Amino acid sequence: MNQPDLDSLRAQALDLGADRAAVISTSDIAVSEAVAFKCRVPRCPNYGVCANCPPHSPTPKEFRAVLANFSQALLFNKRFAPEVMVSPDQAAERREAFAAIFKLAADLESAAFYDGHYLAFGLPAGSCKSVFCHAHEHCAVLQGQPCLFPAMARPSMEAVGIDVFQVAALAGWDMQPVGRGADPNKVADSSLTGMVVVV
């Protein structure tokens, strides 16, 4: 299979506000049941209440089969202040940070499409329920209604079982998991990651 040239898409990621962007081979991406299981134990508030989160999102097994049809992925990452990621009183800023990654995933998916990669799809970080529908009691899709944010809503990398820290290491990025109880002063890299996958 010829490898697509994603240099232009990588440049567009940086133009659109990503701080880092790298092209990796999909065959190097680890998709793990253990990652998706983290949505369930301990249970994330979005587990079962969002059409794009487990158990409604594609399972790791389904996603591995999908990914086998694609050759490369553009990984993009955006840094945010550690306080935004961990502080209880910065929930609105945290939502905006996650929304920025959803927007990058959607915009780069669209850019890839118009570059000729018509099967490209983008995956962000986080749950569209907490990012876009936090003020709604229920996910409209799970109520049998149309999605309220159809161009933006999609499963996250972690929801389908992608080990974000493993792919970041492939890109040479030294990222660390940041829990809500972390001391912001001790967080070296506070960032969010998404990817766009192309055939």
CB of 45 to ligand SF4, least distance (A): 12
CB of 142 to ligand SF4, least distance (A): 7
Tell me how far apart the alpha carbons of residues 194 and 123 are, in angstroms, rounded to a whole number.
6
Q: State the sign of the Cα–Cα–Cα–Cα dihedral 20, 173, 167, 70.
A: positive
> What does the DSSP 8-state code read for residue 160?
G
Q: State the sign of the Cα–Cα–Cα–Cα dihedral 190, 193, 154, 63.
A: negative
CB of 154 to ligand SF4, least distance (A): 8
Token pair belonging to 52: 């794009």
Q: Which is nearer to ligand SF4, 130 or 191 (CB)?
A: 130
Tell me how far apart the alpha carbons of residues 199 and 184 are, in angstroms, rounded to a whole number.
39
CB of 155 to ligand SF4, least distance (A): 9
Q: Which is nearer to ligand SF4, 77 or 130 (CB)?
A: 130
Q: Which is nearer to ligand SF4, 9 or 131 (CB)?
A: 131
**DSSP string for residues in 88-152:** GGGHHHHHHHHHHHHHHHHHHHHHHHHTT-TT-EEE-SS-HHHHTSTTSSS-TGGGTS--SSTTT
Q: Which is nearer to ligand SF4, 26 or 158 (CB)?
A: 158
Q: Which residues in this chain contact ligand SF4 in the complex, by CB under 6 A?
A: 50-52, 128-129, 132-133, 139-141, 147-149, 153
Contacts of 166 (CB under 8 A, 6+ apart): 29, 30
Q: Which is nearer to ligand SF4, 149 or 165 (CB)?
A: 149
CB of 139 to ligand SF4, least distance (A): 3
